[in-house]
Structure 1
Amino acid sequence: MPSSRRPTYSPPKRDARPAPTAENGTRSPNGAAEVVGDAARGDVITASRSVPEPPAPKPVREEKTSGATVLAFPEPKGRRRRKKVILAVVTVFVVVAGLLAAAVYSPVLALQTISVTGTRLLTPAQVQAALEPLRGKPLPQIGEDDVRGLLGSLVQVKSVSVEARPPSTLDVAVHERVPVALVKQGEKYQLVDVDGVQLATTDDPTSASLPVIDGGAGAIGQDLFRATAAVLGALPPDVLAKLSNASAQSVDAVELKLVDGQTIVWGNASEKELKAKVLAALLKAPADPKNPVKVYDVSVPRHPVTR
């Protein structure tokens, strides 16, 4: 019959251990497990958790100035970024300035050809001769003021438009003054505009198809001449071509004569655009052979009268 007694176990008695030496084991510096004593004799194995050492701080540079030690800390990133941006902007500015200077003073863009349009009283050769001092000058250095100043001696030129066409061409569009009348001076006739500027001279008044102001500005006075010239300047070209002469007893009594002998009572220079439209409409109306019109009165343009 089996016994009911449980077996008992008694651990072996440990003898006193000597202090840890190089022979019986030591603890490692990083806390790893070390064998203490002789494993063959059943000595105890101890273990401990390894704690990592914190990273060493970045070294701080030391600078000595006048016998004193100065700590140099790293430059902030924001400041370095600003320096880079400023350097890039300065570089771009220098490059652009260099390119502009090269374009402004480059002989490659020197003016060689002057193209002239818009002349009727003048010839293109006259304009080109007046602009000759600009030849050889770089196009970027030529402006409208330069061209206008050189053409100031040509009274026919009222204004100009200038356009540079690289590498060496300058386009000049001339806007001339418009002659509105012929001023008889002895055997000559002067073409004048609304401001009384003398634009050209002719011996044949029929070649210009303009009305004649007998005596000129000096004979009838500046005020009367300007009033008459202002009226002529308001007329459309087809009506102006039908006029033979113009006169004025006063600034309120301007009269025009047509080539067929008809008279136009204009009055003063007020509402000249409306008067010009009314007169053009009256001249286009069918003529009555039995009652031919001798006078067109547009001095009151909203109530014109023919007789």
Structure 2
Amino acid sequence: MSVFVLLGAFLAFLFLSPALALKTVTVQGNSLLPTEQVQRALQPLVGRPLTTIADDDVAGLLADRPEVADVDVVALPPSEIVVTITERVPVAVLQTGDVLSLIDQDGLVIGTAANQAEARLPLIDGGSEAVNSAVFSTVTSVLSVLPENVLAQLDHASASSIDSVELKLLNGQTVFWGSAESNVAKARALEALLLMPPKEPPIGVFDVSTPTAPVTR
């Protein structure tokens, strides 16, 4: 038997060796999707050689989980894989009856919340039908650029047209955003305005529709 045949047989043995069978699934990067649910979904992989497990295998078993945007799998011989999950980011809440659904920028429902205070996200006016409105993507594109500390201060978001996005803060103040143009600059301007010391009389409206020259009134 030639050296090459022996080498091939040895490599094949290593590739499919029971010594490299998966026993442990470690999950990281997740916050919306419980680790136990990920491990339960990946049970069909247990016992398979690490060398035969790819990102697509894991992604396929998690395909029905709306929280998951992407996965990365690293094998740690002899028997462990580390699954890093990139989750979709919730930007708002939709209310249908008593149910509060967390949605991402694309309007995909990726979880639920017991109440809005727990979600720490703004409510988009219009209930579940809001995702079908012409202005929905405009509103969510605005919310997606806001830092967490600003999102947590919002009560709800609305728009009567693509040029008239408005945000209402929990304290009753209003933010006139305007269109979805220059969203990043507007987000920075709003964050700076919210850090200003309180004024007398109190500010009622923050207008960041022109982010280079924001106005309060």
TM-score (norm 1): 0.68
Q: Who is 1:300 aligned against?
A: 210
Out of 265, 277, 290, the residue aligned to residue 176 of structure 2 is 265
Q: Who is 1:4 aligned against?
A: none
Q: Who is 1:224 aligned against?
A: 135
1:101-112 to structure 2, matched below 5 A, reads 101-112=12-23
Q: Who is 2:62 aligned against?
A: 151
Letter in 2 for 1:260: N
1:1-307 to structure 2, matched below 5 A, reads 93-219=4-130, 221-288=132-199, 290-307=200-217
Instruction: Please give the alpha-carbon distance, in whole angstroms, between the structure 2 residues aligned to 1:217 and 1:170.
Output: 39
* Aligned residue pairs, count: 217
Q: Structure 2: which 5+ residue stretches go unaligned?
A: none
Secondary structure of 2:144's match? helix
Instruction: Please give the alpha-carbon distance, in whole angstroms, between the structure 1 residues aligned to 2:11 and 2:182.
Output: 53
Instruction: Please give the alpha-carbon distance, in whole angstroms, between the structure 1 residues aligned to 2:97 and 2:67.
Output: 22
TM-score (norm 2): 0.94
Q: Say whether the 8 Å CA contact 2:20–2:77 is kept in structure 1.
A: yes
Q: Which structure carries more relative contact order (alpha carbon 8 Å, separation 6+)? A: 2
Letter in 2 for 1:296: F
Secondary structure of 2:64's match? coil
Instruction: Please give the alpha-carbon distance, in whole angstroms, between the structure 2 residues aligned to 1:174 and 1:272.
Output: 28
Instruction: Please give the alpha-carbon distance, in whole angstroms, between the structure 2 residues aligned to 1:134 and 1:220.
Output: 37
Q: Using the TM superposition, give the Cα deviation of residue 264 of structure 1 relative to its aligned residue in structure 2, in angstroms.
A: 0.5
Instruction: Please give the alpha-carbon distance, in whole angstroms, between the structure 1 residues aligned to 2:82 and 2:115.
Output: 34
Q: Using the TM superposition, give the Cα deviation of residue 304 of structure 1 relative to its aligned residue in structure 2, in angstroms.
A: 1.0
Q: Structure 1: which 5+ residue stretches go unaligned?
A: 1-90
Q: Using the TM superposition, give the Cα deviation of residue 166 of structure 1 relative to its aligned residue in structure 2, in angstroms.
A: 0.5
Structure showing greater Rg: 1
Q: Say whether the 8 Å CA contact 1:216–1:225 is kept in structure 2.
A: no
Secondary structure of 2:135's match? helix
Instruction: Please give the alpha-carbon distance, in whole angstroms, between the structure 2 residues aligned to 1:102 and 1:118.
Output: 34
Letter in 1 for 2:178: G
Call closer, same or farther: CA 1:300–1:110 in 2, change over 3 Å: same
1:161-188 CA-to-partner distances (Å, cap 9, x unmatched) read 1100001101111111111111011111
Q: Using the TM superposition, give the Cα deviation of residue 220 of structure 1 relative to its aligned residue in structure 2, in angstroms.
A: 6.4
Q: Using the TM superposition, give the Cα deviation of residue 94 of structure 1 relative to its aligned residue in structure 2, in angstroms.
A: 3.6
Letter in 1 for 2:209: S
1:118-160 CA-to-partner distances (Å, cap 9, x unmatched) read 2211111100111111111100000001111111011101111
